Structure 1
Amino acid sequence: MNKDDIDAQLSSIFEKLAAIEHDRWSHWQRYMHSKCSMQADGSLLIPPNLVAQWERLIALPYDHLDEDEKNSDREQVQRYLPVIRDTLERRSPIVP
């Protein structure tokens, strides 16, 4: 498979992957908002324990996460795999 073929395959799934990414982001925002306190001015106050937890995670590379934290990221990647698998199965000859 050459570079043009790969680029064409990636282009064909770009919008599907973008839709998955939006769903993932929306899910995260709903979760985050549910953990915050709504202020009178409409802003959200994040509890200090969550700020500390998220700041710690932000600072760590993936390979320094514990298994539960890695599993959370792996769970998100699982959303993308059906689109990628479908594309590879449709576009690539299957070699036994």
Structure 2
Amino acid sequence: MTADEAAKFLEGLLERLAYIEHDRWAHWQRYMHAKAQKLPNGALVVPPELVAQWERQLMTPYDQLSEKEKESDREQVRKYLPVIAEALSKKVGSAGSDFRIGGL
């Protein structure tokens, strides 16, 4: 693959992954807005128990999260895997390789 071909391939992959990322972010924002109280001035007030939970999670390395919290992160990453697997299968498959990702 030439540098130009690689750049075009990555640009297409970038757009598909950015689409998924926007959906993930929008889902999170809908969740946040549903949990918060909207004030007359438009500001959102998040319940203190959620703030405490999220602050704890922010400070916790992934390997120290609960299994439930890890699974929540995995659930989000799984949304990206089909796009990545398809892209790899097209590029690796065209090279005649037998490369596979984690059983995909």
When normalised by structure 2's length, the TM-score is: 0.82
Residue identity in the other structure for 1:62: Y
Compute the RMSD of aligned alpha carbons.
2.0
CA distance in 1, matches of 2:67, 2:46: 25
- What does residue 88 of structure 1 align with? 88
1:92 counterpart SS class: helix
* Distance in 1 separating the partners of 2:71 and 2:29: 19
CA distance in 2: counterparts of 1:74 and 1:3, whole angstroms: 33
Match of residue 40 from structure 2: 40
Mark the runs of 5 or more structure 1 residues left unpaired by the alignment: none
Where do 1:1-96 residues align within 5 Å? 4=3, 9-93=9-93, 94-95=97-98
Structure 1 CA distance for aligned equivalents of residues 28 and 34 of structure 2: 10
Show CA shifts across 1:30-69 (max 9, x none). Answer: 0011000011111100000000000000111111101000
> Shift of residue 90 of structure 1?
1.0
User: Distance between the aligned counterparts of 1:63 and 1:52, measured in 2?
Assistant: 20
CA distance in 2, matches of 1:30, 1:41: 19
Q: Deviations along 1:71-91, whole A, 9 cap, x unmatched? A: 000000000000001101111
Give me the whole-angstrom Cα distance separating, in 2, the residues matched to 1:37 and 1:3. 53
- 2:102 maps to none
Query: 1:12 offset after TM fit, Å?
Result: 2.6
Superposed displacement of residue 9, structure 1: 3.8
What SS does the aligned partner of 1:41 have? Answer: coil
Q: What secondary structure, in the 3-state scheme, does the structure 2 residue paired with 1:60 have? A: coil
Unaligned segments of structure 2, at least 5 residues = 100-104
One-letter amino acid of the counterpart of residue 50, structure 1 = L
| Structure having greater relative contact order (Cα 8 Å, sep ≥ 6) | 1
